[in-house]
Structure 1
Amino acid sequence: MVQLQPSYSKQKSLPTMYDLPSEDPEEPGLPDEFHDFQPNLLTQTCQSPHHLRSDYFIAKDLNLYYDRQHTQWYKRPDWFLVLGARRSTNLQELRLSYVIWQEEVSPFLVVELASPGTEDEDLGRTQRKKETRPTKWEVYEEILQVPYYVIYDRYENQFQGFVLESGKYEPLDLEEGRLWLEELGLGLGLWQGSYEGVEGLWLRFYDEVGNWIPTPNERANREQLEKERERHEKQQERQRAIMAENERDRERAEKERERLEKELEKQRADRERLEKELEKQRADRAESDLQKMRERLIQLGIDPETLP
């Protein structure tokens, strides 16, 4: 069957992914790839030394219901953390949403990942119309009074943070791309690296000395590398031990050879000494026998000197 290729003009007029929403119009807030990867990295590296993991709650893309008077109103932060809200440990008790009038504790930190078309609302530039729901900024600043609000724009690599002071958000100086959170004992910063095989600038947590908190995979890889390093060092140590033992064997063999040579030399010297002594003894015996013969001839009246 012949397939007709669309004309160039038609191809050119087709919308790109930047023209089409990544969310279901009937269910706003469903994440794209980045909105899946980035919150996961935040969750995996948020390991506070000041709190047990069971004593703080982390969520991504979860409905946050904030108004007792309007129970259907919610916001859906890309990622948020609540200190003092216990983490569910039972499968059936995992939260379907975060309901502020039941939890009675507001998030400590909210992170929004700016997307095309959401930046104005994320930064509080959107004006609320009468009889409409409050904007994100109003909910986080005025209603929930979230102490820290962070916005990251991956297109501009722009990391912005706000701290609640006297009921209003004040911008933080993040020129170095880092924000220290004393209550957590962790900092939040921009890290250049590869996560899930994707290279770029990512938001992740670091410790008090500035080291990036490793993900479980990074920790496993480091442990594997450490084990491999230890195995390699042990192998090298064994090789050095074998080489040292071989060297000791060589030295022992050399000393044994020298000892044997000295022993042989001594034996040769002793043999020569014995041969000289035997030769001397033979010579002495011959001289003694000759003298006795002379004396015997004289007794017989024969002059030995006259004999041939």
Structure 2
Amino acid sequence: MYQTFPPRSPRESLPTMYDLPSEDPEELGLPDEFHLLQPELLRQTFRPPTYAADNIFTASDLNLYYDLRHPQWYKRPDWFAVLGVSRLYDERDLRLSYVVWQEGVCPFVAIELLSPGTEKEDLGQTLREISQPPNKWAVYEQILRIPYYFVFNRYTDELQAFGLVRESYQPLSAIKMGFWLEKAQLGLGLWQGSYQGINRQWLRWYDHDGQWILTPTEQETQVATQERQRAEQERQRAEQETQRAEQERQRANQEAQRADQAIAEVQKLKEKMRSLGLSVE
């Protein structure tokens, strides 16, 4: 029989999965909603112009196996991308994991979203025994040698960027909108806007012209807006043509009236001349 609880005050602070223990002590719990939405926005806007869509693989919260000597060791990046590898495993199946020694291509960029339970691991501040797996920082930097590593703290909206320089990660400085990744011909920056009905700062990719890459939904909205604008322009042009035609008709009527008046004046003049006994041709 399930235990029921009295309703809580809406002002009461509710515990998170980081405050309450899991049934599995090794597992903090499934990703929270931000960890679902942010990677999806990254996936939808990661479109390197020099790579075909089916030659790019992106994933979030997917097991990344990195050491053939320890085949059960893995990391689970919040988001990562690989360039120059088929989107599908063996070009036909969705992947259940990413195994580096099978794929032959390491990730190009990895992104971690800081949370209370993973901050030290993500920033390489945890220590380990010799027999234990290395932390994420060590794996990304020393084993996989991922060229770019980003760490985003959604609580402070702080984005830390690191680039692989020789043997170690070095902090990168933001330029204008964010950080430019030359090989991908894309930049990563903080965008203030509404995604899935949530207005906040989001990680988002931008192009060489400094334009934020649109999601499929935004593209559809943009196309629909452009179609409406074109239809409105066509309507306005049709109205202008109608107005011009009406103006031409009115001018033609006025010319016809003036011609009729001129003819009538001539006729009057001729009649007067006849009444005076003058010859009229």
TM-score (normalised: structure 1)? 0.82
- Residues 58 and 81 in structure 2, CA contact (< 8 A), matched pair in contact too: yes
What residue in structure 1 maps to residue 265 of structure 2? 265
What residue in structure 2 maps to residue 160 of structure 1? 160
What residue in structure 1 maps to residue 38 of structure 2? 38
- Residues 30 and 61 in structure 1, CA contact (< 8 A), matched pair in contact too: no
- Residues 21 and 28 in structure 2, CA contact (< 8 A), matched pair in contact too: no
Deviation at 1:28, TM superposition (A): 5.2
When residues 218 and 7 of structure 1 are mapped into structure 2, their CA distance, relative to the original with a 3 A threshold, is: closer
- Residues 81 and 110 in structure 1, CA contact (< 8 A), matched pair in contact too: yes
Q: Aligned partners of 2:94 and 2:114: how far apart in 1?
A: 28
When residues 76 and 4 of structure 1 are mapped into structure 2, their CA distance, relative to the original with a 3 A threshold, is: closer
What residue in structure 2 maps to residue 68 of structure 1? 68
- 1:62-101 → structure 2 map (5 Å cutoff): 62-88=62-88, 93-101=93-101
**SS of corresponding position for 1:277:** coil
Deviations 1:6-59 (A, max 9, x none): 798xx96x8523754698746556321111111111111111111111212111
RMSD over aligned Cα, in angstroms? 2.6
Deviations 1:154-177 (A, max 9, x none): 111001111111111111112755
- Residues 191 and 203 in structure 1, CA contact (< 8 A), matched pair in contact too: yes
Structure with greater helix share of residues: 1
Q: Aligned partners of 1:209 and 1:48: how far apart in 2?
A: 13
- 1:203-242 → structure 2 map (5 Å cutoff): 203-242=203-242
Aligned amino acid, residue 214 of structure 1: L
Q: Aligned partners of 1:155 and 1:177: how far apart in 2?
A: 20
Q: Identity of aligned pairs, percent? A: 41
**SS of corresponding position for 1:93:** coil
What residue in structure 1 maps to residue 146 of structure 2? 146
Deviation at 1:117, TM superposition (A): 2.5
Q: Aligned partners of 1:7 and 1:142: how far apart in 2?
A: 48
Aligned amino acid, residue 170 of structure 2: E
Aligned amino acid, residue 16 of structure 1: P
Aligned amino acid, residue 184 of structure 1: A
Q: Aligned partners of 1:126 and 1:97: how far apart in 2?
A: 25
- Residues 114 and 153 in structure 1, CA contact (< 8 A), matched pair in contact too: yes
What residue in structure 1 maps to residue 16 of structure 2? 17
When residues 22 and 244 of structure 1 are mapped into structure 2, their CA distance, relative to the original with a 3 A threshold, is: farther
Runs (5+) with no aligned partner, structure 2: none
Q: Aligned partners of 1:58 and 1:97: how far apart in 2?
A: 11
Aligned amino acid, residue 17 of structure 1: T
What residue in structure 1 maps to residue 178 of structure 2? 178
Aligned amino acid, residue 129 of structure 1: E
Q: Aligned partners of 1:32 and 1:22: how far apart in 2?
A: 15
Aligned amino acid, residue 260 of structure 1: D
TM-score (normalised: structure 2)? 0.89
- Residues 112 and 152 in structure 2, CA contact (< 8 A), matched pair in contact too: yes
Return 89-98 or 151-160, whichever deviates more. 89-98
Please tell me whether Structure 1 or Structure 2 has the larger radius of gyration of its CA atoms. 1
Deviations 1:121-153 (A, max 9, x none): 111111123321110011101111111101111
Runs (5+) with no aligned partner, structure 1: 281-308
